Chains A and B, each alone.
Chain A
């Protein structure tokens, strides 16, 4: 009796394994249309990076729309499915697993939190699915936690620290306090800042850890006043940073120290009011860069997504767009969605400054899979041309001068042979 039941179960499993894919493919074969290429958007819609996750999703959707208007990729229309990764690594893993095994996506795109990006990257590597980390910027993403299938599109904590630290020591002095968000991006960004600071003769006199989802910064602000540092280097992101900025301004502490914010995501400051834009910070793109194509890109955002609360696009939207666009171009050039073919197209890929609307040419480092790009330093704009013109770009650094040497040493990409073959 037990033997029969086991046999029956085995037959059912074998039948399902055959019939499932056959049924799906037969539908496309009979319809005479090509099976759509499905992109899995693993972007936060809730949690600490919920607001930013929505913006990078819009960026990716614009790139998809542009390709669909031209007939898709490889003659296949492009579809996207989005599941909220909730700024939670465990959810990120679950979403990635589901998208690969059940939704049969061709590629995965999206991340704000480095913890989530790392979790998705591990699942993607297990199956061999190419994954674009669009906006999470812990140095470990292209260092210790790099993967053959993962490509990192944002500047990382070390890039921004390289661009800012030396200047800030000269301007404000060498006694610094680090304000560190208690997760992988915060710790690794502060680590990079500490190394650079000490290498340039500065000193970290204290490091205050800010747990994720901290809403009250009064203890930190009192402590900072007691320590009296020259500079507060904050690696605090998302909603935590919004609350921090508001409370710093309320206590009028924005001018009490030099404030350095490693990277400033546009959705984190948009709408907070001009007072909240204090200190010096880094970004990879600004909507008023005086470069060809920028105005048209902004106009396209406004036309495609009318009535948005964020009226002009920022760095997070930009990264979502350029990353998705480049992936689709590479797929088209590879002539296949085969993972290794697409990976080889992405590795070492050169992208012109004009094409990316930045000041310097960019490229993907084949050893770390991180996009090497222009890094801008900015501060509050005291002479805005319009209400949304809240950043003043102070200077720009070319990719070579801010390269993350540490990542190149710590990144050990899996070989092609170790990466499972994947094609959808």
Chain B
């Protein structure tokens, strides 16, 4: 009984961690799933989101405005990146990979130039600061806000993809680009929009995670690796697969952190190896032609 009472907070903590991991992976998943581009600049855009928010807050705009405006600005920056990517479409995927890798380095150095190399702090409003007591344990209040933000973003993105005509076009574009083009939909514009949305989501994740992980130019590296693990684990292109994988990774990392702490970072990779060994397409990935 004591063991269960001790375990429960760690399980709940794992779920909250999982929601944050899912949030980090959302933009990455959208761009990979729809455009089949592995955006290695996702981490740098994540960092850029946090830096832009800090700057906006420095202009006395307040946390809420920074939370809204920074993703829009980073999304616009993402559009520029997509324009550069266009020459790589239809070619060896390595070209896109190399371009986004180069972009990641450029953005990181740009951050160093503009904001410097030192640690920055994203100041939270007083209402989000502080701690709450639950079951005799202390939790950071901000953690709850971060989880709510993650749930909100997951639901909003799902509603957008499933319940709006734009979402239908995006999904159709991912499924059969030629047919979408034949139907008269402007595919380049659609791709531009999807890339901007994906980068804006990276920026949202960066802003949400900034008070937890801190803000430094290379913080994006900490985001892109779990994002990659999560989309492979969930099944490339699967929305709920990514969410489920995020939760699984969160629970595994949370529990190993508590009971076998030296394994906490390694555990997500072990989970990936174990799952892919038995189910190569990931949790909710679609069957390939060979498997049918």
Tell yes or no: B183 within 8 A of A by CB. Answer: no
Closest to B5 in A: A226
In the complex, chain A residues whose CB is within 8 Å of the CB of B258: 219-220, 222-223
In the complex, chain A residues whose CB is within 8 Å of the CB of B256: 219
A318 to chain B, nearest CB (A): 17
Closest to A240 in B: B214
Most chain-A Cβ atoms within 10 A of its Cβ — which of B137, B142, B222, B264? B264
CA distance A210 to B20 in the complex (A): 20
Closest to B210 in A: A246
Most chain-B Cβ atoms within 10 A of its Cβ — which of A225, A250, A271? A250
Given contacts A50-B218, A215-B213, are A220 and B261 in contact (CB under 8 A)?
Answer: yes
CB <8 Å contact, A251 and B214: no
CA distance A270 to B138 in the complex (A): 27
B199 to chain A, nearest CB (A): 21
| CB-contact partner of B265 in A47, A50, A211, A218, under 8 A | A211
CB <8 Å contact, A267 and B265: no
| CB-contact partner of B261 in A50, A219, A250, A271, under 8 A | A219
CA distance A50 to B216 in the complex (A): 10
In the complex, chain B residues whose CB is within 8 Å of the CB of A379: none
CB <8 Å contact, B218 and A211: no
In the complex, chain A residues whose CB is within 8 Å of the CB of B20: 216
CA distance A214 to B222 in the complex (A): 9
CB <8 Å contact, A271 and B10: no
Given contacts A51-B118, A218-B13, are A251 and B139 in contact (CB under 8 A)?
Answer: yes
Most chain-B Cβ atoms within 10 A of its Cβ — which of A50, A211, A218, A246? A218
8 A Cβ contacts from A203-261 to B: 208-211, 213-216, 218-220, 222-223, 225-226, 239, 242-243, 246-247, 250-253, 256
CB <8 Å contact, B119 and A211: no
| CB-contact partner of A309 in B16, B116, B211, B218, under 8 A | B116
Given contacts A50-B218, A216-B253, A246-B214, are A272 and B13 in contact (CB under 8 A)?
Answer: no
In the complex, chain B residues whose CB is within 8 Å of the CB of A216: 17, 20, 212-213, 253, 257
Tell yes or no: A310 within 8 A of B by CB. Answer: yes
CA distance A223 to B150 in the complex (A): 24
| CB-contact partner of A243 in B6, B140, B213, B218, under 8 A | B213
CA distance A320 to B260 in the complex (A): 37
Closest to A219 in B: B257
Number of B residues whose C-beta is below 8 Å from A?
42
CA distance A216 to B256 in the complex (A): 12
CB <8 Å contact, B138 and A253: yes
| CB-contact partner of B138 in A208, A251, A273, under 8 A | A251
| CB-contact partner of B140 in A213, A242, A250, A272, under 8 A | A250
CA distance A226 to B5 in the complex (A): 10
Tell yes or no: A54 within 8 A of B by CB. Answer: yes
CB <8 Å contact, B214 and A242: yes
* Binary per-residue interface labels of chain A (156-196) against chain B in the complex, 1 for a CB within 8 Å, 0 otherwise: 00000000000000000000000000100000000000000
| CB-contact partner of B13 in A219, A239, A271, A309, under 8 A | A219
CA distance A256 to B211 in the complex (A): 21
CB <8 Å contact, B17 and A218: yes
In the complex, chain A residues whose CB is within 8 Å of the CB of B97: none
Tell yes or no: A424 within 8 A of B by CB. Answer: no
A182 to chain B, nearest CB (A): 6
CA distance A309 to B121 in the complex (A): 13
CB <8 Å contact, B121 and A222: no
| CB-contact partner of A247 in B117, B140, B216, under 8 A | B140
CB <8 Å contact, A250 and B118: no
Tell yes or no: B266 within 8 A of A by CB. Answer: yes
19 extra interface residue pairs, beta carbon distance < 8 Å, beyond A215-B222, A309-B116:
A50-B117, A51-B119, A51-B216, A182-B262, A208-B261, A211-B266, A215-B212, A218-B257, A219-B10, A219-B13, A222-B258, A223-B258, A225-B137, A225-B138, A242-B214, A250-B211, A251-B138, A270-B118, A309-B117
Hey, which bits of chain B sit against chain A, CB under 8 A?
A: 6, 9-10, 13-14, 16-17, 20, 116-121, 129-131, 137-143, 211-214, 216, 218, 222, 253-258, 261-262, 264-266
Hey, which bits of chain A sit against chain B, CB under 8 A?
A: 46-47, 50-51, 54, 182, 208-211, 213-216, 218-220, 222-223, 225-226, 239, 242-243, 246-247, 250-253, 256, 267, 270-273, 309-310
6 residue pairs bridging A and B, Cβ less than 8 Å apart:
A211-B262, A219-B253, A219-B255, A250-B131, A250-B140, A250-B142
